[in-house]
């Protein structure tokens, strides 16, 4: 007889019998918090036990070892277990960043917590995916992110020949509310941010809490200005080289892009003067990183850590009283809005931001209704006073 027990939120499988007239039981951890998944495993092993194919009471018998040995790749469909496929998948995922690798590892590991790491991959169905990805405790963006990563993983599993169809295909992608308006700041707020930064730094210096030039974070204002007026992604900003900036002709050449497509970005006046001052402050370099870390030396330049840049932005944004939805990536949204507000065509904004499709850029059009109204007034399309 096989039954389930729950301890510390995890299920285990327990077999009970009588040997020499005495009750005997053995338990095996399933590594899952899902009762439905645990019951699926219990049902399968109950059948194996009744058919005499397993003897959980024999010395040294292990559920995990049994699964591993029973699912050796002896056919076209080897029915391998999740933990085996996860390890192989991550080893082959060499064309991604370390952060992406960690994200895949985390999401797949969390999925295995739900269904059990020894779960044969052929037993995974769309309900398992839906139960894991569309949990109520996850934000909509996280649900979408979990589903996307698992879909990529199971596409790979299909390519390996372990399953015929991706179980994620039957799970609809959750609709996320397009709340870009909550992530955008304007030029006035940008100046408020810089004022907050300046006051904090001066206060810390006066209090003796700042003693080195590195602690003054001189890079903050020019870096944030560049991000706001160009829409460069965080990685593109921290890896930007002076050799890619042409101050004379007023453009930046962005080469290390997310989609692999090089693009050219304009340098408007407000950014031009900030970059000019920053270059002079840095000793008028002709090459090297535009924003090297204070830990850099003359012979060894180190890029600023992207996460640290985001954290410093969030720190001063909080201090300035900005909404919690305002983050560093929001500067990219802010740039798109700024361009459209200043009469750039949607296609021009698309090219500058490096969007793959114009539909992505069109998301920002609704953020500037007052500008559309002003444009209609200028063209004489609206003449009545309100």
| Alpha carbons 317 and 323: distance in angstroms, whole number | 8
Least Cα distance to 89 among 160, 32, 143 occurs for 160
Measured distance CA(361)–CA(63) in Å, rounded: 53
Token digits of residue 351? 């090219």
C-alpha distances in angstroms, 131 versus 34, 37, 47, 368? 9, 10, 26, 39
CA distance 183 to 371: 19
Give, rounded to a whole angstrom, the gap between the first and last alpha carbons of the chain: 79
Residue with tokens 């495993």: 41
pLDDT for 193 equals 97
Q: Which region, left, alpha or beta, applies to residue 260 given φ > 0 means left and ψ of -120 to 50 means alpha? A: left
What's the distance, CA 109 to chain centroid? 16
Short-list 261, 208, 211, 254, CA closest to 233: 254
pLDDT at 266: 95
Burial class of residue 204, CB neighbours in 10 A (0-12, 13-18, 19+): middle
d(CA 28, CA 11): 9
Longest Cα–Cα distance of the chain, Å, equals 99
What are the Cα distances from residue 33, in Å, to 4, 36, 113, 124? Answer: 12, 9, 7, 15
Q: 3-class DSSP state for residue 21?
A: coil
Q: Which two tokens stand for residue 320?
A: 């300035």
pLDDT score for 78: 47
326 by Cβ neighbours in 10 Å (0-12 / 13-18 / 19+) ranks as buried
User: In the sheet that 251-254 helps form, which strands lie side by side, from edge to edge?
Assistant: 245-246, 251-254, 263-266
CA distance 185 to 337: 9
Helix or strand (DSSP H, E) at 18:
strand 10-19
Q: Tens of pLDDT along the chain (386 residues)?
A: 788 888 877 888 898 888 888 888 888 888 777 777 788 788 888 888 887 888 888 888 888 788 777 654 433 344 678 888 898 899 888 777 888 889 999 999 999 888 887 778 888 999 999 999 998 888 888 899 999 999 999 999 988 888 889 999 999 877 655 677 788 999 999 999 999 999 999 999 999 998 887 889 999 999 999 999 999 999 999 999 999 999 999 999 998 777 677 899 999 999 999 999 999 999 999 999 999 998 888 789 999 999 999 999 999 999 999 999 899 999 999 999 999 888 899 999 999 998 888 888 888 877 666 555 555 665 666 665 54
If you write DSSP's letter for every residue of 166-213 in order, what string do you get? -GGGGSPPPPPP--GGGT---HHHHHHHHHHHHHHHHHHHHTT---ST
- Picking from 315, 289, 314, the residue whose alpha carbon sits closest to that of residue 302 is 289
Closest CA to 314 of 377, 211, 234: 234
The DSSP 8-state label assigned to residue 324 in this structure reads: T
Whether 103 and 167 have beta carbons less than 8 Å apart is answered as no
Neighbours of 87 (CB within 10 A): 12
Radius of gyration of the chain (CA): 29
Dist CA 340 CA 367 (whole Å): 9
């Amino acid at each position: 007889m096989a039954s389930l027990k729950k301890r510390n939120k995890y299920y285990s499988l327990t077999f009970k019998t009588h040997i020499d007239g005495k009750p005997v039981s053995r338990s095996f951890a399933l590594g899952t918090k899902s009762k439905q998944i645990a019951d699926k495993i219990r049902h399968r092993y109950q059948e194996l036990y009744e058919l005499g194919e397993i003897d959980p009471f024999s010395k040294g018998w292990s559920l995990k070892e049994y699964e591993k040995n029973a699912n050796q790749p002896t056919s076209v469909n080897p029915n391998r277990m999740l933990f085996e496929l996860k390890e192989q998948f991550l080893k082959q995922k060499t064309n991604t960043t370390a952060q992406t690798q960690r994200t895949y590892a985390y999401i797949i590991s969390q999925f295995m917590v739900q269904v059990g790491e020894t779960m044969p991959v052929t037993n995974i169905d769309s309900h398992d995916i839906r139960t894991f990805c569309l949990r109520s405790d996850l934000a909509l963006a996280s649900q979408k992110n979990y589903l996307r990563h698992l879909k990529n993983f199971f596409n790979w599993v299909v390519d390996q020949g372990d399953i015929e169809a991706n179980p994620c295909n039957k799970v609809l992608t959750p609709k996320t509310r397009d709340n870009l308006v909550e992530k955008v700041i304007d030029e006035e707020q940008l100046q408020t941010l810089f004022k907050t930064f300046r006051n904090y730094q001066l206060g810390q210096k006066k209090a003796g809490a700042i003693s080195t030039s590195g602690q003054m974070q001189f890079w903050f204002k020019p870096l944030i200005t560049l991000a706001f007026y160009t829409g460069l992604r965080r990685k593109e900003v921290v890896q930007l080289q002076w050799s890619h900036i042409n101050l004379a002709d007023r453009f930046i050449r962005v080469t290390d892009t997310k989609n692999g497509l090089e693009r050219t970005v304009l340098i408007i006046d407000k950014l031009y003067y900030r970059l000019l001052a920053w270059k002079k402050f840095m000793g008028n370099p002709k090459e090297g990183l535009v924003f090297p870390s204070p830990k850099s030396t003359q012979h060894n330049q180190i890029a600023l850590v992207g996460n640290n840049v985001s954290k410093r932005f969030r720190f001063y944004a909080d201090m300035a009283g900005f909404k919690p939805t305002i983050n560093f990536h929001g500067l990219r949204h802010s740039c798109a809005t700024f361009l459209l507000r200043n009469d750039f065509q949607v296609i021009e904004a698309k090219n500058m931001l490096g969007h793959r499709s114009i539909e992505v850029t069109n998301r920002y059009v609704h953020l500037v209704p007052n500008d559309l109204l002003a444009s209609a007034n200028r063209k004489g399309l609206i003449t009545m006073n309100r």
